[in-house]
Amino acid sequence: MTTLITGASRGVGRALVDHLTAAGETVIGTCRTAPAAGWLALDVTDPDSIAAMGRAMEGRPLDLLVCNAGIYLEKGQRLEDGFPSAMWAQTFATNVTGVFGTIQALLPNLRASQGAKIAIISSQMASDTHAPGGSYIYRASKAAALNLGRNLAADLAREGISVGIYHPGWVQTDMGGRSADITPAEAARGLAARFAALSPATTGCFETWDGRPHPF
């Protein structure tokens, strides 16, 4: 099984690379500057970089694509004078447009595999049932990623490609902070189980890292 994971140099992405590699899978990690052999350079905000990644993968079937690359820039922003337009643009370029562009570039690879899967790492903050205020840009971007995944699931179902959207948990990363609930390794183990369970019967699902259906 061949898996490609975006945003894999640290945090949950790196933990997924380590977990799936240890399980014997062929794993291709991407980051803005590829650090080692077997990795690919990919800046999901740059169409040229996405195209180059697609060319590097040409002719190679892909069983699982994990769209993990994401940013959360707005900590400390004030409603009165924060959340500048450039921050909105940068976040959506990474968390939404970058997801779509990556999937679009790798469709030939997914179509070349029997029963391929796409996993989009969103967040519980995408749900309109989890709205305590604040984090406007991040919440909006993750809600858009959730909507994108649901619609891709509908369009790709006829080709046998399954799409799942996942909340990775509150994870002890640079984004989640040291007081978060779980480690990257715990998140990776749970997410890997979710990816394995994804099927045409569950395509379009929105689930937590530990297997609970999440309300939309």
Return d(Cα 141, Cα 143) in angstroms, integer: 5
Rounded to whole angstroms, the Cα distance separating 208 from 210 reads 5
Distances (CA, A) of 27 to 30, 88, 120, 130: 10, 32, 17, 33
Q: Domains in the chain, please, with CATH?
A: 2-208 (3.40.50.720)
Residue 28 makes CB contacts below 8 A (sequence gap 6+) with 2, 3, 4, 5, 38, 39, 40, 57
Q: Are 28 and 4 in contact (CB under 8 A)?
A: yes
What confidence tens digit (pLDDT) does each residue in 104-158 have? 999 999 999 999 999 999 999 898 887 889 999 999 999 999 999 999 999 999 9
Taking only the tens place, the pLDDT of each residue in 150-195 is 999 999 999 999 999 999 987 887 776 677 788 999 999 999 999 9
pLDDT at 131: 85
Give the C-alpha distances (Å, rounded to integers) separating 137 from 121, 192, 208: 16, 28, 21
Residue range 64-88, pLDDT digits in tens: 999 999 999 999 999 999 999 999 9
State the Cα–Cα distance between residues 214 and 146, nearest whole angstrom.
11
